[in-house]
Amino acid sequence: MIYHITTRAEWEGQAGAAEYAPSAYETEGFIHCCDRHQLETVGNRYFPGRKDLVALAILPTKLESETRYERSGDERFPHIYGPINKGAISTATGVQCNADGLFDGAFAEL
d(CA 20, CA 14): 6
Which one-letter amino acid corresponds to residue 57? A
One of 3.40.50.720, 2.40.70.10, 3.20.170.20, 3.60.10.10 is the CATH number of 2-95, namely 3.20.170.20
Q: What is the reported pTM?
A: 0.94
Query: What residues does each domain of the chain span?
Result: 2-95
| 108, pLDDT greater than 90 | no
Mean pLDDT for the stretch of residues 22-37? 97
Radius of gyration of the chain (CA): 13
Q: In this structure, what is the dihedral angle of CA atoms 66, 67, 73, 75, given to the nearest 10 degrees?
A: -160
What's the angle, vertex CA 62, arms to CA 22 and CA 8, rounded to 5? 30
**pLDDT tens by residue, 53-64:** 999 999 999 999
Element containing residue 43 per DSSP (H, E): helix 39-46
